Amino acid sequence: MNQTSEPASIVVDMGGTTTRVGAYRDGRLTGDTVRFATPKPAGGRSVREEHLDRIAAEVDRMRKRHPAPDVREVGVAVGATVDSRGRIRNASLLWNEPGTGFDLGAALARRLDWARITVCNDIAAAAWRYQDLGRFALLTISTGVAIKVFDARLPFAARLLLDDEGLGGEIGHVRVDPERRAPHRTLGRAAAAGDLAARARLGDAGLRWCECGTVGDLCAHASGPATVRAAAALARSDPGLWDGSRLAGRCGGDPEKITAPAIAAAAQSGDAFTRTLLSAATRPLAAQILQLSAALGLRTFVVMGGFANGVGEPWFAELRANLADLLPAGGWFTGWTDAEVDALVRPSRDRDDSLVGMGCLLAERRTQVREVHKPVGEARALLRHRSATRCGRRQFAVRMAFAGICGTDLQVIRGDRGCEPGVPGHECVAQVTEVGADVSGVSVGDVIGVNPNRPDDEHDKFGHNLPGVFRERVVWDEHLIDRGQIIPLPAAGLAEWTLLEPLSTVVRSARAGGDRWRDRRVLIVGAGVSGLLHAMLARHDKARRVLVANRSPQRLELAVERGVLAPEDCLALDGSLPAAIAEATGGAGVDVVVLAVPRGTGPAILNDLWPSVADGATVHLFGGFHPGSTVRLPGGEQVAAHPIRVRGERHRASLGGARACTLVGSSGADREDYQRARDLCVAGEDRLDLAPLVSHVVSLDATPGVLRQLMSDGRLGGRPALRVIIDFSLTGDVVRAVDGGDLPRIGVRT
């Protein structure tokens, strides 16, 4: 049986005139390409939804004609300004409406729920077809005008000269006649909207307009529609040149009947009128090409697009003549020969550039992996691509399925911890995809969890000083298996199992206190995920009463709504807390206190809690303490928190009178803790259900923005967030609130 070197993909070119759908495999389009006219507005009605419905239908039909199970990728090249997340900035030349902010990737994903959708600008996609040229610019002269600069010598994500949003090269909407004052911006917008009077006023002033509403930009001079309008204006202004021309003959002498095909046909006959027209249309473009050539050191400009290549050699001849005429004598161009000027521009290979280029992009991207990157010294994260790391003989590779975003990750990104992991994240569920020849203990297909804490070095942690798990593929050394950091999980691969890592630290916290939860009155301070996990474990281990105090009532309300807490067990973390504890415990106080609060807030909270702590109680310093924090006891004694939390020291503390308590603490977890956490959650009728603690599922594409929102106010979409999970199978900018009952699992989309 013959096997191809790469999976098939379906590619789409959303052009302003024609939309095409094809299948791409092994460097070429396979089978027939479907073409249909891009819908246009009628009676002011938007055609966007009609266009997307038709695309989705054709993609589904194309998939049925190529039924191989690997057809999952759909690449969409769109003739519009679109950012790297598939959101439209301006689609005026596509749908005759800006569509600003419209999430094209998400709209297509809703229609094609089986597909991994990639969206990019059509010129950006087409550039990948020409990467064999090395360093060049790709121009399109069609319904619009745009350019992309490509350098094949650079890493994958940097080969196209774009900004962080994936934008750049939209020169068609830059004015090229700034010395002339535009009469009115409102006139340009009115002309684009179909106002004949506005168009006439602009024509009388000798000014050209673009479909985006700009007057005098490059599109208004060089695009196909602009050249058609210019031809009509020239015919009216110079009837002597128009009468008897080949173009007039093709249009019955009526300037209003001029079309792009008519211009192309007349140009082939050497028609003087058409040469004059094309010379005027290409002159501003020639000036832009020379400027870019000098500014960026470019010697190759590939010209694609239905209009330029439809007219063909006559169009290129006029462009080259303008280049020669405008060529400066010095600077970058010193010593250029006529042959070098002529070679500056060349036609594209055919009209399949965007389709083939999108296929090339998808194929090249399969050699790359995406990751969330934290630049050193910067309180932000961004998504980037890098070449996939190879797997050695003593290594194994995994595909990330799910990763959890926790408060520690936000602290690392903000710089609160001084850690620079490069890639954040330390909670995950992954699947083994490759195993080195000398590795034992894992097999391809295994579903695993990972303890990020090295057992023999408290400072060696994923997502802290080592690259973390917010990345699609990771290659790890076999030492992780030897040290017990790899935890086998059932094949179901549930998304909520990312919480096994924080649960293991809670198990260790309980073990530090002697596992004495049964029949004890427990107070958890802090209703974050760690605090709620403590409450769930205490109830599981038959604590007599479990109270949870928190400053924000919204957090408590969310925990009650999800069934994690009972309303009567929720207390306000304020001055009324001691009285509330006394009432809830009949004056007996609490036998266990767990501090699971933000860094630095623990000492002040404890000062107010000492009267509520029962004799013989255990106080867990789980969270809320800086490395230099001290605990002040009722008698005035100062106790350093760090040795208790990190080194596991215990401190017998007097509370005044005959009362005393024991201060305990813990940090991280070992293999035994992780194994117990696993056993608590994966089997048995009495297992812990972690799903209610998951409030949102997001895509990797959306993760940088999600991190910004969480660092800002801890909310997503206006809702408080508990645990946010990255689902690596999602494509596009996806942020989905969940109720805990519809979480994904490995290999199953929801």
C-alpha distances in Å from residue 603, one per residue of 248, 373, 526, 629, 632: 88, 34, 14, 7, 7
Q: Select from 743, 748, 6, 714 the least CA-distant residue to 359.
A: 6
Q: What angle do CA 710, 621, 451 make, to 5 degrees?
A: 60
End-to-end CA gap in the chain: 34
Helix 407-414 vs helix 703-713: angle between axes, to the nearest 10 degrees? 90
- Written as one letter, the residue type at 35 is R
Q: In what order do the strands lie in the sheet with 590-596?
A: 570-572, 545-550, 521-525, 590-596, 613-623, 659-665, 651-656
Q: Are 581 and 523 in contact (CB under 8 A)?
A: yes
Q: What pLDDT score was predicted for residue 741? A: 67
CB-based burial of residue 187 (10 Å sphere; 0-12 exposed, 13-18 middle, 19+ buried)? buried
With tokens 């989309």, the residue in question is 749
Domain range summary for the chain, segments of one domain joined by +: 171-347, 377-499, 502-669
DSSP-assigned beta bridge partners for residue 486: 450
Q: What pLDDT score was predicted for residue 1? A: 34
3-state DSSP assignment of residue 487: strand
Please report the sign of the dihedral spanned by the C-alpha atoms of residue 303, residue 308, residue 310, residue 316.
Answer: negative
Q: Which two tokens stand for residue 222?
A: 């060089």
Q: Count how many Cα atoms sit within 13 Å of the Cα of residue 539 in the half-sphere of its side chain.
A: 18
Q: At 343, phi and psi to the nearest 5? A: -75, -5
Mean per-residue pLDDT pooled into runs of 10, the chain (750 residues): 63 92 91 90 75 96 78 91 88 86 92 90 94 95 92 90 85 81 75 86 84 88 94 94 94 94 95 96 97 96 94 97 95 95 94 94 90 95 89 96 95 92 97 96 96 84 95 96 94 94 94 84 96 95 95 92 95 94 95 93 93 95 91 92 87 91 90 92 84 94 95 89 94 82 67
Q: What pLDDT score was predicted for residue 6? A: 67
Q: Are 149 and 298 in contact (CB under 8 A)?
A: yes
Q: What angle do CA 676, 679, 683 make, to 5 degrees?
A: 165
Q: How far apart are CA 658 and CA 638, in angstroms?
A: 19
Q: How far apart are CA 559 and CA 590, in angstroms?
A: 21
C-alpha distances in Å from residue 326, one per residue of 286, 287, 289, 341: 8, 7, 10, 11
Q: What pLDDT score was predicted for residue 747? A: 64
CB-based burial of residue 415 (10 Å sphere; 0-12 exposed, 13-18 middle, 19+ buried)? middle
Q: How far apart are CA 453 and CA 447, in angstroms?
A: 19
Q: Are 312 and 303 in contact (CB under 8 A)?
A: no
Q: What pLDDT score was predicted for residue 45? A: 59
The class level of CATH for 377-499 reads alpha beta
Q: How far apart are CA 545 and CA 536, in angstroms?
A: 12
331 Ramachandran zone, left/alpha/beta (phi>0; psi -120 to 50)? left
DSSP-assigned beta bridge partners for residue 119: 76
The class level of CATH for 171-347 reads alpha beta
CATH number of the domain at 502-669, please? 3.40.50.720
